[in-house]
Amino acid sequence: MKKITIDDIAEAVGVSKTTVSRALSGKGRISDATKKRVIQYAEDHKYKPNVMAKGLAQKCTYNLAVVIPQEDTTSALAFFHNCLVGITTGAEKASYDVLITVERGNRTDELERIIRNSKVDGVILTRTFFEDKRIAYLRKNQVPYVVIGGSQASDVIQVDNDNYGGSLALTDALLKKGISKPALFGGPSEHLVTTQRLQGFNEALSQNGIEEDYDLVFYDTQDEKTMSEDVDKAMAAGADCFFCMDDDIADRALDACKNKGIWVPQQISIASFYDGPVLMRTSPKITAVSFDERRLGEMAAETLIKMIAGEKVSDITADAFELNFRESTL
């Protein structure tokens, strides 16, 4: 009789290999009915586990860690919430659980504690930094990990929205509608997503024969005072559209215009490279690019679980985005 494997049992019973491993090891979350079916099939077909494989399997926790930054903006919270929903969905498909930890800035305190206590099999980072200390720590300790978003580090598996393509497409569409002197309002310049969206914006300018005007590019517009000053500068320079890196920035730009008596879209158009919940309450409604963060999180979990299983994986870009044209650019 042919010696059966975990793959054979998984295919016959109609479950994942992870579920079979959990049933046979007695570890992890799994329904009693499924566990009984797996064990019965294994016994009926005289399954004998590989001793080395069993040793490795017993080290599995069937937990994934998700590291999220300590954020207080509505836009960031919505993004991470949607990613977490997707991560949980992807993890559940393979009978994994999700452990969430919060880090403040480019630190490793919480991550080190989790890894040191052998609580997880792999890690999902939801934001990276230049010279990221957490990536260095995970590499040193040979812990499987993936990154949601871009990373400057080499040999990092990234799962990201097409921030470049989305900003390029929206900028190009509005330039073709008649915008000729766009200003750009961004967040922290050290965030990689800022670089990606800036590159898409600049490429659209180039494709439409418009030279980049550095006097109309503003970073670190996270507070009302800075935004108010930058709106004055942009209007004085003759800008006809404010392209904003995300929904919080677009909301602040709109508030600044209202406070100054500047009519949107009659005197200035506003568009956002991210369509978050903040934009659902603005008046007028703001044109924006929307992404599917839940699918992004799900793909991150699926990719990490493949890495844990020893499968070869590569970067993934979720290229699905939608341009939502609204009252702010009519």
Exposed e or buried b per residue across 44-66, where buried means at least 16 C-beta atoms within 10 angstroms of its C-beta: eeebeeeeeeeeebeebbbbbbb
pLDDT at 53 exceeding the cut of 70: no
pLDDT digits (tens, 9 = 90+) for 216-250: 999 988 789 999 999 999 999 999 999 999 999 99
pLDDT digits (tens, 9 = 90+) for 71-83: 656 667 788 899 9
User: What whole-number distance in Å separates Cα of residue 138 and Cα of residue 159?
Assistant: 17
User: What whole-number distance in Å separates Cα of residue 224 and Cα of residue 220?
Assistant: 11
Residue 75: the pLDDT is 64
Kindly list the strands in the beta sheet with 321-324, ordered across the sheet, starting from the edge strand earlier in the chain. 217-218, 182-185, 241-244, 269-272, 287-291, 321-324
Q: How confident is the model at residue 307 (pLDDT cuts 50, 70, 90)?
A: very high
- Cβ atoms of 329 and 265 within 8 Å: the answer is yes
Question: In this structure, which topology does domain 63-161+293-321 adopt according to CATH?
Answer: Rossmann fold (3.40.50)
DSSP code of residue 106: S
Domain boundaries, the chain: 6-57, 63-161+293-321, 163-290+324-329
Residue 194: the pLDDT is 87
Architecture of domain 163-290+324-329: 3-Layer(aba) Sandwich (3.40)
pLDDT at 54 exceeding the cut of 50: no
What average pLDDT does range 13-28 have in this prediction? 79
pLDDT digits (tens, 9 = 90+) for 162-173: 999 999 999 999
Q: What is the DSSP string of 172-239?
A: HHHHHTT--SEEEE-S-TTSHHHHHHHHHHHHHHHHTT----GGGEE----SHHHHHHHHHHHHHTT-
User: What whole-number distance in Å separates Cα of residue 13 and Cα of residue 21?
Assistant: 13
Pick the more confident residue, 215 or 57. Answer: 215
The two counts, helices (H) then strands (E), for the chain are 12, 12
Residue 42: the pLDDT is 87
What average pLDDT does range 260-283 have in this prediction? 95
Nearest to 63 by CA among 34, 91, 83, 23: 91
| CATH 3.30.460.10 applies to domain 6-57 | no
pLDDT at 57 exceeding the cut of 60: no
Exposed e or buried b per residue across 282-321, where buried means at least 16 C-beta atoms within 10 angstroms of its C-beta: beeebbbbbbbbbbbbbbbbbbbbbbbbeeebeebbbeeb
Residue 56: the pLDDT is 46
Q: How confident is the model at residue 27 (pLDDT cuts 50, 70, 90)?
A: low
pLDDT digits (tens, 9 = 90+) for 130-182: 788 999 999 999 999 999 987 777 788 999 999 999 999 999 999 999 999 99
Establish whether domains 63-161+293-321 and 163-290+324-329 are of one fold.
yes
Nearest to 296 by CA among 122, 91, 98, 87: 87
The proportion of the chain whose per-residue pLDDT surpasses 70, expressed as a percent, equals: 93
Q: How confident is the model at residue 103 (pLDDT cuts 50, 70, 90)?
A: confident
Mean pLDDT across the chain: 88
Residue 55: the pLDDT is 40
Residue 174: the pLDDT is 98
What average pLDDT does range 241-266 have in this prediction? 96
What average pLDDT does range 301-318 have in this prediction? 88
pLDDT at 123 exceeding the cut of 60: yes
Q: How many CA atoms lie within 13 A of 134 on its CB side?
A: 34
Residue 221: the pLDDT is 85
User: What whole-number distance in Å separates Cα of residue 67 and Cα of residue 55?
Assistant: 28
Pick the more confident residue, 162 or 58. Answer: 162
User: What whole-number distance in Å separates Cα of residue 28 and Cα of residue 18?
Assistant: 10
Residue 87: the pLDDT is 96
